[in-house]
């Protein structure tokens, strides 16, 4: 059972969480449109990265929409505050969503790193393997956040080992890739490296919230942290990845489909 279910909320706290969840799924819808419309500016060899971005948007949209609905039905307004009524609110669904999104986000990176087939397969395997292990261990740990804080820390600790392996490979592989990339793409890659370190590391803070701030304010803060992390690690990240893909495509002589089509239309006329 998650901490969210054990507390009561003032109308402001309850609304803040509802609004934060809406901000989350609205951003995913916006990102979806962005990845689809910019796809034609990307050369075929990098285009799957936009497809992966769009898949992340759809799955995150559905998850956050469901979380928002659950927040509305789980609590009812009584005597000036929001108290638990029917069902439970579970953050566990987020972890299952990450099982889809984390591999997709990491594979987006593999695509724009521009490695050969064998090196891409090897790195993809390390990324997906450590990402999935990290999430499953955290998923188990979060079940204990109210009943057994030691279990929460232990599962979280083991999960962190896989997270550090993951971060190490992300850091090192981006470092190698910037050496061979043209300047604009290399600069964006460096931002992506920092984005990884910061945006991904705030998820564990949300995970340990029941140990550090087990209050209604802690719940509001946790949902805010999840949302900031989601928008940064999925939407802003995807925009930066697209920018790298467009820069690399241009450097490799790819002219976007739209400008080609426009030119054709002009010559027909």
User: Which residues contact ligand RET (rule: CB under 6 A)?
Assistant: 98, 101-102, 105, 134-135, 138, 156, 159-160, 163, 200, 203-204, 207, 233-234
Query: Looking at beta carbons, which pairs linking 7-10 to residues 24 or more positions away fall under 8 Å?
Result: 7/215, 7/216, 7/219, 8/81, 8/82, 8/83, 8/84, 8/216, 9/75, 9/81, 9/82, 9/216, 9/219, 10/81, 10/82, 10/216
CB of 181 to ligand RET, least distance (A): 23
Q: What are the Cα distances from residue 253, in Å, to 51, 78, 177, 249? A: 22, 64, 19, 6
Chain-centre distance of CA 244, in angstroms? Answer: 18
CB of 149 to ligand RET, least distance (A): 13
Closest to ligand RET by CB, 34 vs 98, is 98
CB of 30 to ligand RET, least distance (A): 16
CB of 249 to ligand RET, least distance (A): 25
Closest to ligand RET by CB, 211 vs 251, is 211
Cα–Cα–Cα angle for 52, 181, 232, nearest 5°? 40
CB of 205 to ligand RET, least distance (A): 9
Closest to ligand RET by CB, 52 vs 113, is 52
Closest to ligand RET by CB, 4 vs 247, is 4
Closest to ligand RET by CB, 74 vs 233, is 233
Query: Residue 219, exposed/middle/buried by CB under 10 A (0-12, 13-18, 19+)?
Result: buried
Closest to ligand RET by CB, 157 vs 175, is 157
CB of 262 to ligand RET, least distance (A): 36
CB of 133 to ligand RET, least distance (A): 10
Cα–Cα–Cα angle for 142, 95, 156, nearest 5°? 40
Closest to ligand RET by CB, 134 vs 245, is 134
Token pair of 19, please?
């609004």
Q: Which residue is nearest to ligand RET (CB)?
A: 138
In sequence order, the 6+-apart residues with CB closer than 8 A to the CB of 140 are: 155
Q: Using CA atoms, how far apart are residues 214 and 187, in angstroms rounded to an integer? A: 40
Buried b (16+ CB within 10 A) or exposed e, 45-64: ebbbbbbbbbbbbebbbebb
């Amino acid at each position: 059972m998650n901490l969210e279910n054990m507390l009561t909320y003032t109308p402001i706290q309850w609304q803040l969480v509802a609004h934060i969840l809406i901000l989350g799924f609205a951003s995913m819808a916006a990102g979806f449109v962005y990845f689809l419309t910019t796809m034609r500016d990307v050369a075929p060899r990098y285009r799957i990265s936009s497809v992966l971005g769009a898949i992340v948007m759809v799955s995150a949209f559905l998850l956050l929409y469901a979380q928002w609905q659950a927040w509305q039905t789980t609590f009812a307004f009584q005597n000036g505050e929001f108290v638990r009524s029917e069902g439970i609110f579970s953050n566990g669904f987020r972890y299952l969503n990450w099982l889809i999104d984390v591999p997709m986000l990491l594979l987006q990176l593999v695509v724009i790193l521009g490695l050969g087939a064998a090196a891409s397969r090897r790195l993809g395997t390390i990324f997906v393997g450590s990402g999935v292990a990290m999430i499953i261990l955290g998923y188990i740990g979060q079940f204990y956040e109210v009943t057994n804080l030691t279990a929460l820390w232990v599962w979280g600790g083991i999960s962190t080992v896989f997270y550090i392996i993951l971060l190490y490979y992300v850091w090192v592989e981006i470092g190698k890739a910037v050496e061979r990339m043209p300047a604009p793409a290399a600069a964006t890659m460096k931002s992506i490296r920092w984005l990884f370190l910061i945006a991904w590391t705030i998820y564990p803070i949300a995970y340990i919230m029941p140990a550090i701030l087990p209050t209604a304010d802690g719940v509001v803060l946790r949902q805010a942290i999840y949302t900031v992390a989601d928008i940064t690690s999925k939407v802003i990240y995807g925009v930066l990845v697209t920018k790298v893909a467009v820069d690399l495509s241009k450097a490799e002589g790819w002219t976007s489909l739209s400008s080609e089509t426009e030119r054709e239309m002009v010559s027909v006329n």
